[in-house]
């Protein structure tokens, strides 16, 4: 489809400036409509996921981007179905935001195996109580500042070697346009 080709070319032209995105937002929206700042993957992350070895991150980002009906919007949660990305499902997680707290809804089987625990139903602050940790700051950047980027980290998991991994988290919105859920992928 021509629209999909155009949207894909926009992925390579992503910008980190919400002001620029707001300036390019469609004109003529109803005066009462409140349009939240656009979200785009930061340029460094976009360049990195386009490198060989990061195909899962790029596929995941393109899937999320394809859920948007407008390049300045956050896709609605009801447009996302994990079954649409079966090859990535084991690395994907879904979290919801409840009264400012992040609660895991779904964790892919590979994540559960890696962590030797299924955190579905648990809140982020129950798993990681340090709000200054890289992990918690990543969530805060997305929820509070609408910044999306790839976080690169490393960790020791029980019974495993030290391991480097990457996490890309993307927002999903409710009908009123606020961020209500986060979909993410963990890649190692």
| pTM given for the model | 0.77
Q: What is the CATH number of the domain that holds 120?
A: 3.30.450.20
Structure confidence by residue, pLDDT tens digits, 38-59 = 688 889 999 999 999 999 999 9
- CA-to-CA distance for 187 and 48, rounded, in angstroms? 13
Residue pair 179/143 in contact by the 8 Å Cβ criterion: yes
Domains contained in the chain, number: 1
Question: Phi-psi region for residue 94, left (φ > 0), alpha (ψ -120 to 50) or beta?
Answer: beta
Q: 145 in helix, strand or coil?
A: helix
Assigned domain for 30 exists? no
> What is the rounded distance in angstroms from the CA atom of residue 57 to the CA atom of residue 71?
19
Better-scored residue on pLDDT, 20 or 60: 60
Per the structure, the complete domain to which residue 69 belongs is given by 2-25+35-187
Residues 87-146 have pLDDT tens digits of: 999 999 999 999 999 999 999 999 999 888 999 999 999 999 999 999 999 999 999 999
- Number of other residues whose CB lies within 10 A of the CB of residue 37: 15
pLDDT at 27 > cutoff 80: no
């Amino acid at each position: 489809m021509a629209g999909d080709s155009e949207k894909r070319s926009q992925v390579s032209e992503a910008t980190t400036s919400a002001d620029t995105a707001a300036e390019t937002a469609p004109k003529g929206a109803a005066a009462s409509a409140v349009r939240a700042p656009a979200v785009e993957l930061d340029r460094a992350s976009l360049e990195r996921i386009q490198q060989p070895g990061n195909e899962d991150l790029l596929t995941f980002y393109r899937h999320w981007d394809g859920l948007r009906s407008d390049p300045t919007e956050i896709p609605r949660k009801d447009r996302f179905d994990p079954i649409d990305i079966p090859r990535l499902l084991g690395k994907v997680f879904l979290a919801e935001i409840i009264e400012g707290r992040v609660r895991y809804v779904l964790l892919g089987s590979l994540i559960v195996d890696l962590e030797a625990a299924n955190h579905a139903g648990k809140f982020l602050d129950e798993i990681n109580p340090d709000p200054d940790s890289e992990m918690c700051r990543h969530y805060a950047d997305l929820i509070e500042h609408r910044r999306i980027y790839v976080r690169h980290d490393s960790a020791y998991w029980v019974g495993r070697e030290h391991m480097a991994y990457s996490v890309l988290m993307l927002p999903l919105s409710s009908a009123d346009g606020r961020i209500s859920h986060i979909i993410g992928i963990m890649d190692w």
